[in-house]
Structure formats: C-alpha cells, structure tokens
Amino acid sequence: MSDIKVLIADDSILFSRFLKSVVDSAEGFACCACCSNVFEARDEIERLKPDMLILDIEMPKMNGIAFLRQLIPQYTVPVIVCSSRRDLVLQAMQAGAADYIPKPEEGGYDEFKQKLLKSLKASANIKRVKSGCKFYNVRAAAAAEVISRKIIIIGGSAGSTEALPKILTSFDKNTPPAAVVLHMPEGYTSLYAKRMNAEHPQLTIVEAEQGLYLKNGMVVIAQGDKHMRLFKDAKGYFVTCEAGPKVSGHCPSVDVFFESAAYCAGGEAIGVILTGMGKDGARGLSQMHHAGAYTIGQSEKSSAVYGMPKAAFELGAVDKQCDLEKIGDAIKAWYLK
C-alpha cells in the first residue's frame, strides 16, 4: 500500500523543512508538498490529492482557521494544526482540526516530534470530521490503514505453540504484520489460528492462504502441510502456500520461510527462532542476519527444547538471546525505534 501523503502549509521555510523531516521519518507517511500560504496549498491539494494536512494558523493572505472552514466541507481529510497561537485551539478544533499541537519552544523539538508522530498515526484512522455543526466523511484514501514497511518473522517447533501466545500479548492493531511457521500437522493450524484469534482479539490471526496480503495487526500461521514463503510487490508483503518435499526435515519448513524473508525483506524484517527440536530455521535465520535483519533466539533456560535456537546461535545467526517473556518487548522496541 502506498504511503499516506501529507501536505504541509506553513510560511516558515525552516519549520516546514523540520516538519517534512518528521513526516518522512514516520513509517507509512510521506510529505508530498510544502506550501507557504493557503492559496498555494489549495492549488497543490487539487494537483496532488493529499491524504492529510499539517496546517499553520498565522500565514499571509488567509489564516489557517479560515482556510480550514472552507476546506473540510469540500475536501475532507484529517488536518493537524501546528501553531504558536495557543489561544486559538478551540477555534481550530471547531473548524475541523483533527488535532492541535503547539509549535515547540527552544529546546522542545524532540518532544514536539514525538507528539507529531503520535498524532499522524492517530489521525490516519479518523473516519469522520466535524466542522461547525456538521460531520463530514473522510476521503477513502485518507482513511486507509497505515501499513508498516517492517515485518516480523517467527519460526519454532516443540513448545512453540505455547510460546507464541506469550509473545502476542505485546502486540496490538498497530504492530507490523507477523508471519509464523510452526511445526504442526495438517488440520491443526486452522484450529490453532482460530484459538489464538479468540485469545488475542486485538489482533487478526489467520491461517495462511495463497496470495494473502499482510497488514498491521495481522498474524499469519503457515498451513500444516505446505511451505509458506514471503514475497513483496507494490501493494506490500504477501505469502504463498505450496506443497513440496520436506526441507530440513519439515513441511512447512522454517528454513524455507526464513530464506524467502531474507531475500525480499532484508533489513525491514526481524527474525525470531523459538523453542524446537533439530536445526530447522538456523540456516534461514543466518541468511536473514546477513541480509540485514535483526535476529532473536529464545534463551536456553526458557526453551522447552533448546535445539533450533541453539543451532542458530552456534551458527552466528542470533543478534540477541532473550527469555521468552522478554521477546515481545524486544520486538516492540525494534519496530518502534
């Protein structure tokens, strides 16, 4: 899915550049234009069809609040107002602003950046905007889900069906998509996915299907009798499911899946190898590691069977060993940085 396009309207060139740097650093967002007044913004809106605006109040020719009152009924998108005029917060919100963030004072730029990043993600999920006494539906493109460029890759065997739920407690609807290969027999993976989905209602947990595209908050479990592979195109990450001979002693094979992730995701992925017997996944995790992915191996003391994580560690494929109860937080720290 394409990035959410953000148009910036602020008469300060330096502050516009700062805003652009923040927007472009946010996953799933991109600045499409910077305008110094609302008339430039109007022309660029018509040309670029942005999904969101960041708007100053005090600008030449027309102030931001007057422009906002005209904009929302005609072109309804989330608008984040950034201004030094704290006395105009109420007017901005009544005109249709999705959020108001005061411009930073000296030394407050890091705090402002974090507030803006949080506001961008929250505003992207807004479906309706109130301007004056009326509600307006947000344009469909602007209401699109924010799809992370990052992806979570997990593999395991003996004991991993009990380990995975503990990791998922750290996930929410904004977590990058996760794709999981566990050594489970045919017919069990569908039931397992349904049980996990009931236990973790904040997530969408499904058995893999051919050509399934992944999105934030989704966990995909490989089918019990087919190799799952990861691919990427202009729409994002998707998986394939194909029958085939056993690889590293298994179908689905963690090695097969990890190797596909190394090829198409590179440094956008985090690879996690969980408790399990044998060596499946060690070679694939090594390929992910060399492709730039961050890799985690479950610790010996927290593993039911320290086979797969040990093989990966001895191969030099593991960046960090973690106790099971800390893996979810380690994944979260990785995708939030």
Tell me if 95 sits within 8 A of 68, measured CB to CB: yes
- CA-closest candidate to residue 23, choices 108, 99, 98, 120: 120
Question: Residue 92: what are its φ and ψ, rounded to 5°?
Answer: -65, -45
Q: Residue 43: CB partners within 8 Å, gap ≥ 6?
A: none
* Residue at token pair 């056993």: 246
Q: Phi and psi at residue 329, in whole multiples of 5°?
A: -65, -35
Cα–Cα distance, 141 to 2 (Å, whole number): 10
Q: What's the DSSP call for residue 310?
A: H
Within 8 A by CB and 6+ apart from 297, the residues are: 272, 273, 285, 309, 312, 313, 317, 318, 320, 321, 322
Active site residue 157: yes
- Catalytic residue at 56? no
Residue 245 CB contacts under 8 Å (≥ 6 apart), including other chains: 251
The helix (H) or strand (E) run that includes residue 289 is helix 282-290
- Alpha-carbon gap, residue 15 to 9, rounded angstroms: 10
Choice among 36, 99, 160, 183 that is catalytic? 183
Angle at 325 between CA 212 and CA 305, to 5 degrees: 80
Q: Which of 56, 99, 280, 289 is catalytic?
A: 280
Write a three-state SS string for 97-166: CCEEEECCCCCCHHHHHHHHHHHHHHHCCCCEEEECCEEEECCCCCCCCCCCCCEEEEEECCCHHHHHHH
Burial letters for 281-290: b for 16+ Cβ neighbours within 10 Å, e otherwise? bbbbbbbbbe
183 is catalytic: yes
Task: Select which of 157, 160, 260, 286 is catalytic.
Answer: 157
Angstrom distance (rounded) from CA 260 to CA 247: 13
CB atoms near residue 150 (< 10 Å):
21
Catalytic center residues: 157, 183, 280
